[in-house]
Amino acid sequence: MGNECFKVNLLDMNQKRKSLKMFGRLISFVKPYKPLFGLAAFCVVLLSFLSPFRPYLIGTMVDRYIVNSQNAELLLTWSIGIAVLLFSEGILQFASSYFSNLLAQSVIRDIRKNLFKHIVSFRMKYFDKTPVGALVTRVVSDLEAITQVFSSGIMEISGDLISLSMVLSLMFITNWQLSLMTLIPIPLLIVATRIFAKAMRSSFQLERLQVTKLNTFVQEHLTGMSIVQIFNKNKEEYAKFVEINKGHRRAHINAVWANSIFFPVVEILSSLSIAFLLVWGALRVDGKSTLEIQAMYGQIIAFTLWIYQLYRPIRQLADKFNVLQRGVVRAERIFEILDHDAQSQFGGALENVDFNADISFKGVSFAYKEGQDVLRNIDLNIEKGTTVAIVGSTGAGKSTIINILGRFYEHERGEIRIGEVKIEDIQLSYLRKNIAVVLQDIFLFSDTIHNNITLGDDQISRAQVIEASRAVGAHDFISRLPGNYDYSIGERGTVLSVGQRQLLSFIRAFVYNPQVLILDEATSSVDNESEVLIQRATEQITKGRTSIVIAHRMSTIQNADLIVVMDKGEIIESGTHQQLIKREGKYNTLYEKQIFQPKG
């Protein structure tokens, strides 16, 4: 039993150290905004000192100018003074709230920028394992929760603690015996607060998991809604959503349950303090003269106000510590990503590399999962200015060659060179600037056609876009759209046909004028008319450029300078179309299956 308690205490200590470390890292983001932080802190501290003096002044005013002298002129003067103090408190409250929230939004903006910049630097392997919905939760919901750490956490907690110190000091200075009497319920409140804080932390952790699970499910199923409807899985997926939603509700109910118990406890204890104050007053009245009883009025009024000022911050402190805990719990997830350097793509330093050079693969191997090689000892030389086609059955490793050439994944063994330069020595952005890839799975943003082609690059003019569109043969269909190049295509470009979307992806690649052009089964999903257009455009754009074509349709690669045949991660044949047909090997088999397959 003793060992179990020791383990629990050790876990609590470790968790507290971890939370303090996370909190410290959050605070480090305030450094660029020290003046703003100082201004907000000044307003909070000044407000915390002024507010506790108000009950003292009201009590003094009652004693001097209502009970004793009844001086209407001085009473009016003191009343105006107290009104001015209240007005000043209101201004300070506004200023502290405004500057605290401005600080919070500035800090969160910086963290969000750092987080997104870090995420886009990750290798594709990271995104293969991490649900998109989980990342959306980190970038949006988790950071919103952290905002409250700065806006209603640190500042207000500090202000409440100062205010509590001031209230207690004034209470004991005024009447230490009465102070002790009214503070009898405080130990119970401290115990209740500790229990409440532990319960809330566990509920926040559960809430965090359920929010991520819900966001992930919704994001995936909205993206894949066509699959759900095509296979008539509406009821099944709805049933799954109902269960996840129940879990989400339970997680929030746990927090509501703790709040529902704690806050009535605070109200009861504050009422007890008022009751002890009244008991003290009743005991003091016995045997006293009218003047002596009247002399107690000011103190009773002041203490009544102080008790409310004492319990309100304590009650709010519990709320704000919850906000702080929620923010720290969410910060753990944010910093977990920011600290995740193993998946980052570290680029080289070389720029101005001549991409008009041979591309060579020497003994290159790669595995998506350790011990399961997808590429095995690839030796391949792609001469500058030539078109090389890579063919093979599904899973042969064709697309993987493209992935490691663009460093979307890092090869594990062997080396890849552009001329004499290793690709890992080339600055990553410069490498990708010179290599354009057209994928089979086209992704278009919810934006205009022009912006989808240029991807927001202001250096690419409308004239260049139109010229590239004419080269591809897409200018006519774009011109027929409402607004032509300013036509908004909606999410993922679903208002366009598959062939039209593919043509836009071709224009996107062409307009960047790449040194190396890669077509990854780019014509496999288009109709015959679009394929003819793309073939014509490809012939123009590949002139004088190194081009790599991963082909599904054999008819598109017969004129390639070199055809490479892959099987199970290895190159088994290479040569021109005619050479490979004469060998009657794997290529010939694939060609005959496709060209002479039965029709109808």
pLDDT of residue 503: 81
DSSP string, 291-329: HHHHTTHHHHHHHHHHHHHHHHHHHHHHHHHHHHHHHHH
| Measured CA angle at 133 (ends 132, 139), to 5 deg | 90
pLDDT of residue 269: 77
pLDDT of residue 529: 65
3-state secondary structure of 383: coil
Could you give the C-alpha distances from 42 to 38, 68, 97, 141, 324, in angstroms and in order? 6, 38, 12, 30, 21
Write down the pTM of the prediction.
Answer: 0.66
pLDDT of residue 360: 93
pLDDT of residue 417: 92
CA atoms within 13 A on the CB side of 79: 9
Convert 436-499 into a string of H (helix), E (strand) and C (coil).
EEECCCCCCCCCEHHHHHHCCCCCCCHHHHHHHHHHHCCHHHHHCCCCHHHCECCHHHCCCCHH
Greatest Cα pair distance, the chain, in angstroms, is 125
Task: pLDDT tens for the chain, 600 residues: list them.
Answer: 444 444 434 445 565 666 677 777 788 888 888 888 888 888 888 888 888 888 887 777 777 766 666 667 777 887 888 888 888 888 988 888 888 888 888 888 888 888 888 888 777 777 777 777 778 778 877 887 788 777 766 777 777 788 888 888 888 888 887 778 778 887 887 777 777 767 766 676 677 778 778 877 877 777 677 666 666 677 878 888 888 888 888 877 776 776 677 777 777 777 777 777 777 766 665 655 555 555 566 677 777 888 887 777 776 666 677 777 777 777 888 888 888 775 556 667 888 888 889 999 999 998 888 778 889 999 999 999 888 999 888 888 888 888 888 888 888 889 999 989 999 888 888 888 888 888 777 777 878 888 888 887 888 888 888 888 887 778 888 888 888 888 888 776 667 877 788 888 888 888 888 888 888 876 655 666 666 766 776 776 677 788 888 877 776 788 888 999 998 889 999 999 889 888 888 888 888 877 655 444
180 closest CA partner among 280, 270, 266? 280
pLDDT of residue 10: 43
3-state secondary structure of 190: helix
3-state secondary structure of 365: strand
Strand partners for 414 = none
Phi, psi of 409 (to 5 degrees): -130, 150
pLDDT of residue 599: 44
**What's the CA gap between 201 and 194, in Å, rounded?**
11
Token pair, residue 211, equals: 């929010």
